[in-house]
């Protein structure tokens, strides 16, 4: 490699490292409900069962909500991660905003699609408070989005958990990105599988008295994209057990690509690093399947199999200079 190209690459990686500093590349606009960082600034939220988007846009960000509870009614507060790095913590407080009624709940791991929820029986009529915080107060910005909904548990339809496992033809567990789609083709939710190949969609809305059809779409660069169609049907029990759709076996893909060779020209050069960065930053770059797989250097990492991250860009650079990645 010419000295000039090597020097350019060093500068490029230095910029990438700076972009990795919290509050630089990860800066994110406040959500539409800010400023709501204290109980005094809490946003009133209807118990209408509609998910509303929020994020953690600065260090130690907290989001507070007010709800009006009716004595002895049981309501559910549900928080769903929409960011790959999000790990929301859920707490519910009495009207004094100091005494805990439920929580803090942090049972689900970080990552897209994971849900925290708690049921609350209101002891009296009055205003109650919900606080959503991050498990690590120093993490914020891009990929820390979540959605919250609050609803009367006795006044909604049925919600089910749906689970399964993904293996290759030798019965080895596979990390893959799993999308759940309804019969109209609309994406209901997307999550990564776990290291043992298992996945679980939580609190999926279904019809109380009619069957509902779904498609599962499974993606991994080393395997053929796979679709599994299934349906769920009533009757449903109270606290219905998870619907287990069983094991899904993936077949190897014939897709040819080389890690780091984003352009597909047989070499890993500075242009590949730049192209990987453009894919990461979404700067007019619509990656083909081979280009995406070549840029997705760390596709064996949890939550890192559906998009290009800054670590992948640095991984392409390490491959270019022959360093370990």
> How confident is residue 206, by pLDDT bands cut at 50, 70 and 90?
confident
Instruction: Verify that 114 and 177 share a domain, yes or no.
Output: no
101: domain CATH number?
2.60.120.380
Domains: count for the chain: 3
Cβ neighbour number for residue 175 with a 10 Å cutoff? 20
Instruction: Verify that 92 and 110 share a domain, yes or no.
Output: yes
Per-residue pLDDT tens over the stretch 94-146:
999 899 998 788 776 666 666 778 888 899 988 899 998 876 655 566 667 78
Give the side-chain half-sphere CA count within 13 A for 242: 13
What whole-number distance in Å separates Cα of residue 229 and Cα of residue 30?
A: 38
Instruction: Verify that 241 and 220 share a domain, yes or no.
Output: yes
The boundaries of the domain holding residue 188 are 158-250
Q: Does residue 34 fall inside a structural domain?
A: no
Q: Does residue 220 fall inside a structural domain?
A: yes
Instruction: Verify that 130 and 219 share a domain, yes or no.
Output: no
Q: What is the pTM of this model?
A: 0.50
| Residues ≥6 apart with Cβ < 8 Å to 42 | 36, 64, 65, 66, 97, 129
Q: Does residue 240 fall inside a structural domain?
A: yes
Q: At what angle do helices 270-281 and 310-321 cross, to 10 degrees?
A: 180
> How confident is residue 163, by pLDDT bands cut at 50, 70 and 90?
very high
Q: Does residue 31 fall inside a structural domain?
A: no
User: Distance of CA 133 to CAs 37, 91, 100, 105, 136, Å?
Assistant: 10, 8, 14, 10, 9
User: What is the Cα Rg of the chain in Å?
Assistant: 22
Structure tokens at 281: 């930053």
Among 118, 152, 186, identify where a domain stops: 152
Among 200, 225, 250, identify where a domain stops: 250
Q: Does residue 30 fall inside a structural domain?
A: no
Among 194, 219, 250, identify where a domain stops: 250
User: What's the CA dihedral at 165, 168, 291, 9 to 10 degrees?
Assistant: 90
């Amino acid at each position: 490699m010419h000295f000039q190209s090597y020097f350019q690459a060093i500068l490029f990686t230095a910029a990438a490292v700076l972009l990795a500093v919290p509050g630089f590349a990860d800066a994110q606009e406040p959500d539409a409900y800010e400023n709501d960082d204290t109980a005094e600034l809490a946003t009133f939220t209807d118990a209408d069962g509609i998910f509303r988007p929020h994020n953690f846009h600065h260090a130690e960000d907290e989001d507070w909500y007010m709800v009006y509870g009716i004595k002895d009614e049981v309501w559910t507060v549900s928080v769903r991660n929409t960011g790959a790095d999000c790990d929301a913590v859920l707490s519910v407080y009495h009207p004094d905003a100091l005494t805990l009624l439920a929580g803090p709940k942090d049972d689900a791991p970080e990552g897209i699609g994971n849900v925290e929820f708690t049921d609350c029986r209101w002891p009296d009529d009055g205003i109650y408070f919900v606080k959503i915080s991050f498990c690590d107060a120093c993490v914020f910005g891009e990929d820390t989005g979540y959605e919250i909904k609050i609803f009367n548990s006795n006044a909604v339809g049925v919600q089910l958990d749906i689970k399964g496992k993904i293996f290759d033809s030798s019965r080895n567990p596979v990390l893959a990105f799993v999308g759940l789609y309804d019969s109209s083709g609309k994406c209901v939710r997307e999550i990564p599988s776990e290291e043992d190949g298992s996945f679980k969609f939580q609190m999926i809305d279904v019809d109380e008295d009619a069957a509902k059809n779904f498609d599962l779409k499974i993606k991994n660069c080393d395997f053929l994209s796979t679709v599994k169609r299934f349906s769920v049907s009533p009757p449903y029990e109270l606290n219905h057990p998870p619907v287990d759709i069983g094991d899904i076996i993936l077949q190897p893909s014939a897709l040819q690509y080389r890690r780091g060779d984003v352009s597909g020209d047989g070499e890993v050069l500075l242009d590949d690093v730049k192209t990987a960065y453009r894919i990461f930053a979404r700067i007019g770059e619509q990656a083909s399947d081979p280009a995406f797989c070549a840029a997705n250097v760390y596709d064996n990492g949890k939550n890192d199999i559906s998009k290009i991250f800054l670590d992948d860009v640095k991984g392409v650079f390490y491959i270019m200079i022959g360093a370990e990645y």
